[in-house]
Copies of this chain bind each other. A is one copy, B any other.
Amino acid sequence: MRWDFWKILQKIKVQPVAETGFVTQTLAREDAVQKSDHIDRAGRQGKKTRVTIKDVALSLGMSKSTVSRALNGYSDIAESTRLKVKRTAHVMGYKPMVQAQAIRTGLVRSLGMVLNADSHDGHRPFLADFIDGISRRASEDNWTLTVSTAPHALGVLSTIERLSNEHSVDGFILPRTRIEDPRVRYLVKANVPFIMFGRTGDDRDCGWYDINAELAMEKAVLRLAGMGHKRIGFINGLTRYMYAKVRLEGYRTGLEKAGLAYDDRLVQIDAVTRKDGERAGGVLLDLSRRPTAIVCAVDLAALGLYKAAAARYLTIGSDLSIISYDGIAEGEYASPPLTSFSVDNRKAGECLADLLIKRIRGAAPETLRQLGEADLIVRASDGPPIIHSE
């Protein structure tokens, strides 16, 4: 009720012009005083004095609006004016303050990514490249990357909520998508832009970038089959993630194309660390009719498998062939060096950033889907089978 009254008062159209003029004067003078005081305080508190758009306008003798439009490429500014404005702005060292822009435009020019800190999975080693890719692409358009971590999946979700509520970022990159992903559910409902690294169960309203890992797995199987292997095992990653699902599919497609039967007993799951790989590998190698080759969905697991093989006096590359996926640096230094599909994480980061920026700018999610490829790095962990009698 009270504010109603004020609203009405506000609407009343006003009073003598002369009076207004005088008031302006007064205010202006007051303003000046305050300004200098402000600078003074600034000096004491260690803040910088920024060049604002007002300063530029003043020094050019134009209005703020003209300067703003000139700088932002509006069509109703004369080319000559634009040039002049741009030059002086540059000379004066004027850089628009992003948050001041943000409050009007609704864009903070920042991409968000929330990492799950407890995920022991592979992503750590290539985090640097991945971030580099994102940041690189983002910088091109003067965007920034805000990264945050959370100790567990729930924390990830609440961090995402916080960041989008406070509008600290314009959209999210979601690494390691699950088949059923709560982050996706939330963001879709909240209508916040995002792009996934990896696919998910229900693609509606989702853009994504992913590596065609199923193709890689398929190629791995076919390569081994081509060498003469008949019993090819598979050690998969965490099955709740989408990547594990598609990699298994790739493995099966490979077997099919090679004319080999799929055998449950040759498949192990949820191996993403050395220890996991050692355990899973042990199981496969202890089978009465053990596989002569094993495809791994994750490099670290493959390295664990090395240990399991060594414990059983099997020589990798001859007694047992291994082809893996990820292309981490350690693989190169294992003995024998690991044959693996390498993924370009920097490129992935770049693509994701690119897609997300497009998404934020309004592109439809259905148009924002890309599949990259992994490259086989042939080293020494695979070869024709040595014991072979079927």
Interface of A with B (CB < 8 Å)?
Answer: 1-10, 12, 14-15, 19-20, 22-24, 26-27, 42-48, 50, 58, 61, 93, 95-100, 102-103, 106, 108, 110, 115, 117, 123-125, 127-128, 131-132, 135-136, 138-139, 142, 144-149, 151, 159, 162-168, 190-193, 274, 303, 330, 333, 359-360, 362
**A274 contacts which chain B residues (CB < 8 A)?**
333
- Flag if A46 contacts B192 (CB, 8 Å): yes
Residue in B closest to A145 when the chains form the complex, CB atoms: B147
| Alpha-carbon distance between A24 and B8 when the two chains are bound, in angstroms | 9
16 residue pairs bridging A and B, Cβ less than 8 Å apart? A1-B23, A2-B61, A3-B58, A4-B24, A5-B14, A5-B19, A7-B27, A8-B20, A93-B165, A98-B166, A124-B127, A135-B149, A136-B151, A139-B159, A146-B146, A303-B333
Q: Which residues of B lie under 8 Å from residue A144 when comparing CB positions?
A: 146, 148, 163, 168
**Contacts A5-B20, A333-B274, A333-B303 given; does A128 touch B135 at CB 8 Å:** no
With a cutoff of 8 Å between Cβ atoms, the chain B residues found around residue A26 in the complex are 1
Q: B residues within 8 A CB of A136?
A: 117, 149, 151
**Smallest beta-carbon distance A381→chain B, Å:** 16
A287 to chain B, nearest CB (A): 25
CB-nearest residue of chain B to A51: B165
**Chain B proximity of A63: nearest CB distance (Å):** 8
Are B106 and A103 interface neighbours, CB within 8 A?
no
- Give Cα distance in the complex from A10 to B147, angstroms: 46
Known: A8-B15, A47-B191. 6 other contacts (CB 8 A): A5-B19, A98-B168, A99-B103, A124-B127, A125-B125, A147-B147
Measured CB to CB, the closest approach of chain B to A36, in angstroms, equals 15
